[in-house]
Structure 1
Amino acid sequence: MTRPGKVAGAALFAGLMLSLSWMKPAAAQGSGSASLDAVKGRGQVLCGIAGTVPGFSLPDSQGVMRGLDADSCRAVTAAALGDAAKTKFVATTTQNRFTALQSGEVDLLSRSTTWTLAREANLGLEFAWVNYYDGTGFLVKKSAGVKEAKEMDGATICVQPGTSTELAINDFYRLHNMKFTPILIADQAEIQGAFLSGRCDAYSTDASALATFRFSQGPKADDLVLLPDIISKEPLGVMVRKGDDKWFDIVRWTFIAMITAEEKGVTSANIDSFANTTDPDIRRLLGLEGDMGKALGLDNKWAYNVIKQVGNFGEMWNRNITPMGVPRGINNIWTKGGLQYAPPIR
């Protein structure tokens, strides 16, 4: 038997909980994502990039930011706001890139940044996806006659401080009981100039960046040699702040949508021809059935907007990386021998 006092107490407690249920955090009153609410409120996605790397983020002759990292930003903006043009690019350095994301100066970081345990465990940040599988390499002058990295005992090496490249070089030289002298220069253009002027024997960073830098030298490219050694794994990814799972989901599934589109042969040019497709995967991808967008807090045409405005993953690669002379290799989709594999959108 329940005593009257208990009933009254239970009713009072239930009433109190009901009244408190209205006291929700600001994010819960909107989309459920503080980042998405901020993005919608300002009508822009603030994206941290380098802004100095050919093939990844560099303004063209008209001042338009071009590159794989820049287009990764545009894809997220197309998903979140329906308009890729509403991306605002914020230049960051290797020293301030994480602080910019932590402080909310940017909504995501797309800056050729390597996914590592220390970064994800210690910075309050996390990687949503890998847009380029890379590795640390070395660029030397042909006149040096160097054929492999093990021949560079005692070399001076130009490298940016505070990067995973710096750690990879230290590990490599330690492993092979060799010594080197680092020439630490933060500015991208300055470090490249230092290498070309002879201040260091080698320039080290991600092999992709070395290849694009060599390509940018035009006729003088043949004077430079990209050594065959890849001394580390460098999965370059797009980062967001921890604690905002819905924003993380939006960024992650934007890339999955682009990979899915490539797998299915859906491009920015032919996407509208699939309006009457019977393929259930494509119908869900393009918002023709199901509520995949609604599940993310977005319009159901979120992925359609990404593909129509930015393209599938292959288009993004071909537009930005292929002209640099870099083979796609392991960055291809899994059906063509690569690592890019899309979980199902269902």
Structure 2
Amino acid sequence: MTLRHWARRAGVCLFLLTTAGLSGTASAATTLDTVKGRGQLLCGVNTGLAGFSNPDSQGKWTGLDVDVCKAVAAAVLGDANKVRYVPLTAQQRLTALQSGEIDILSRNTTWTLTRDAQGLNFLPPVYYDGQGFMVNKALGVTSAKQLDGATICVQTGTTTELNLADWFRANNLKFKGVVIEQLDELLAAFFAGRCDAFTSDESQMAGVRASVAPKPDDYVILPERISKEPLAPVVRHGDDQWKDIATWTLYALLEAEERGITAANVDQQTKNTDPNVQRLLGVTGDMGKMLGLDNQWALRAIKAVGNYGEMFERNVGKGSPLKLERGLNAQWTNGGLMYAPPIR
């Protein structure tokens, strides 16, 4: 075969490889395409945590994390009810997301460097939390530093387990861990008296005390917070458009609270002449089109679940059994950390 023939064959092969690669890239479905084609959002949630994701006797899911998925479904599919909730344990949750079993994980998950660097993208935190300890009042303990030598119930597969060991080591204290994967089994052990203390995020302990404790008034949450726990929804690496959609849906709920837009008045607010409100609700600009959605994406999300403040109060705030203070989860204008970048 002549040199010219070799060159011609090499050129043809290169062309075929290149076009095959382009074809494969073009045909690869994005998460947005997949969700729209399915007509349903697959949302990973806790197996049951009051205030965040919890099914009732009819299987209806409610909670702050549940509302996140409802908002995304409303923005993308036009219907907050087009969600299938996938209950996941702490050990199952990240694998389920990475394997494609779910489209978004909204399950009181702490944002850490290790998790972020291992094929995951965290969205803005929906709850700034901290780890603490809950004990029976009869134990007579008023500070975590009185737990030297205590037996402590902790769930495996969580940052809680690591924080517990770090804090006791740093304070030259000792403990004996009772480590169980299933939360219901862990709580049964704690309330049966197998452990002196139960450790978890403050929000989870408040939910447990309100909904699981046999006598809620018999238990107290100690004042110390031994960690930072920014709880955030999670999506997979590699699909920037989907990350942007979910991220800006959350920001839209924060912006709505700051602008006084609620589930009840959002339609009326389309007549508001404030340019910030007009852009948010799709009256002007092409904010939605930039995300691959229509321009009423944020209006639908707000109408479905309310603004962030409404979500908070309904699920974990003063209007809920948990009765948690806003604290760090207040708007930045009220001394909190909740802050939406400009929607413009």
CA distance in 1, matches of 2:51, 2:169: 32
What's the CA shift string for 1:297-338, capped at 9, x where partnerless?
001100001001111101111110021111111101111111
What's the CA shift string for 1:140-191, capped at 9, x where partnerless?
0000000101000011110001100011111100100111111011111111
How far did 1:275 drift? 2.3
CA distance in 2, matches of 1:320, 1:105: 27
How far did 1:76 drift? 1.1
What's the CA shift string for 1:2-28, capped at 9, x where partnerless?
xxxxxxxxxx99xx79x94993445x4
Match of 1:211 among 201, 206, 209: 206
How far did 1:63 drift? 2.1
SS in 2 for 1:156: strand
SS in 1 for 2:72: helix
Cα RMSD after superposing both structures: 2.0
Match of 2:338 among 327, 337, 340: 340
Structure 1 partner of 2:220:
225
How far did 1:216 drift? 2.0
Work out whether residues 76 and 297 of structure 2, in 8 Å CA contact, stay in contact via their aligned partners in 1. Answer: yes
| Pair 1:310-2:305 in alignment | yes
Match of 1:139 among 121, 134, 142: 134
Match of 1:245 among 231, 240, 243: 240
How far did 1:71 drift? 0.7
CA distance in 1, matches of 2:133, 2:258: 33
Give the 3 Å change call, closer, same or farther, for CA 29–278 of structure 1 in structure 2.
farther
Structure 2 partner of 1:184:
179
Structure 2 partner of 1:292:
287
Give the 3 Å change call, closer, same or farther, for CA 298–215 of structure 1 in structure 2.
same
Work out whether residues 212 and 325 of structure 1, in 8 Å CA contact, stay in contact via their aligned partners in 2. Answer: no
Which is worse superposed, 135-144 or 187-196? 187-196
Match of 1:63 among 44, 59, 66: 59
SS in 1 for 2:141: coil
SS in 1 for 2:42: strand
Map residues 250-265 of structure 1 onto 2, 5 A cutoff: 250-265=245-260
CA distance in 2, matches of 1:24, 1:201: 60
Structure 2 partner of 1:9:
none
Map residues 1-346 of structure 1 onto 2, 5 A cutoff: 20=19, 23-25=22-24, 28=26, 34-121=30-117, 123-217=118-212, 220-322=215-317, 323=320, 324-346=322-344
Structure 2 letter corresponding to 1:265: G
CA distance in 2, matches of 1:331, 1:39: 30
How far did 1:36 drift? 0.7
What's the CA shift string for 1:113-153, capped at 9, x where partnerless?
000001111x2111011000001010000000001010000
Work out whether residues 51 and 65 of structure 1, in 8 Å CA contact, stay in contact via their aligned partners in 2. Answer: no
CA distance in 2, matches of 1:24, 1:309: 38
CA distance in 2, matches of 1:316, 1:61: 22
SS in 1 for 2:172: coil
SS in 2 for 1:271: coil
| Unmatched 5+ stretches in structure 2 | 1-10
CA distance in 1, matches of 2:103, 2:190: 34
| Unmatched 5+ stretches in structure 1 | 1-11
SS in 2 for 1:235: strand
CA distance in 2, matches of 1:330, 1:237: 14
How far did 1:62 drift? 3.1
Work out whether residues 153 and 177 of structure 2, in 8 Å CA contact, stay in contact via their aligned partners in 1. Answer: yes
Structure 2 letter corresponding to 1:114: T
CA distance in 2, matches of 1:84, 1:215: 27
Work out whether residues 215 and 325 of structure 1, in 8 Å CA contact, stay in contact via their aligned partners in 2. Answer: no
Structure 2 partner of 1:5:
none
CA distance in 2, matches of 1:86, 1:49: 15
Q: TM-score, normalised to structure 2's length?
A: 0.92
CA distance in 2, matches of 1:190, 1:109: 23
SS in 1 for 2:215: helix
SS in 2 for 1:52: coil
Paired-residue identity, %: 54
CA distance in 2, matches of 1:343, 1:248: 15
Q: TM-score, normalised to structure 1's length?
A: 0.91
